[in-house]
């Protein structure tokens, strides 16, 4: 399963999505910072929960390395909001790529059309949208947070 069509240094498309607090999120919000786009297939599933919890639990480490993690899936905003409350998230933004359904994931080439979800992918970009590091995982695979943090530190 190889979806990623972006190589290091290539630019991702611009995006304007909405987070669990109904606030618009785009790269323009993170001037001077790197952004980890952490795609997960669906909220309310165990691997996705663990993936988002690890981002929240390591939020300080991301901040130390000038990086903002974002959890992104095709779930609608109300679902993201309820899930964030259930997970007890205080820092991590859960961003919705719901409508048009999976449009951002599709532009990135990581939308699994026959399942209606994105793949499980981490893409680290700078504030100009240039890819610094990216890794795709099998849908049931939990990303190795140590590997992600190493990539973040290497590109800080």
Check 25, 27, 37, 48 and give the catalytic one: 48
What does the alpha-carbon distance between residue 104 and residue 98 come to, in Å, rounded to a whole number?
Answer: 9
Active site residue 48: yes
CB environment 109-140: b (16+ within 10 A), e (fewer):
ebbbeeeebbbbbbbbbbbebebbbbebbebe
8 A C-beta contact, residue 89 and residue 56:
yes
Give every CB contact of residue 113 below 8 A, 6+ residues apart in sequence: none
Q: Cite the active site residues.
A: 48
């Amino acid at each position: 399963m190889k979806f990623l069509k972006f190589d290091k240094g290539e630019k991702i498309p611009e995006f304007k999505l909405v987070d669990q607090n109904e606030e618009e999120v785009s790269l323009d919000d993170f001037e001077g910072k790197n952004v980890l786009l952490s795609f997960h297939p669906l909220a309310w599933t165990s691997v996705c929960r663990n993936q988002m919890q690890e981002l929240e639990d390591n939020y300080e480490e991301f901040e130390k390395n000038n990086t903002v993690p974002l959890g992104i899936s095709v779930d609608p905003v109300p679902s993201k909001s309820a899930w964030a409350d259930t997970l007890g998230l205080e820092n991590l933004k859960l961003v919705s790529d719901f409508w048009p359904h999976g449009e951002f994931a599709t532009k990135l080439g990581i939308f699994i059309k026959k399942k209606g979800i994105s793949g499980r992918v981490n893409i680290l970009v700078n504030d100009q949208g240039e890819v610094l590091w990216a890794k795709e995982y099998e849908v049931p695979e939990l990303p190795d947070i140590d590997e992600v943090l190493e990539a973040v530190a290497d590109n800080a």
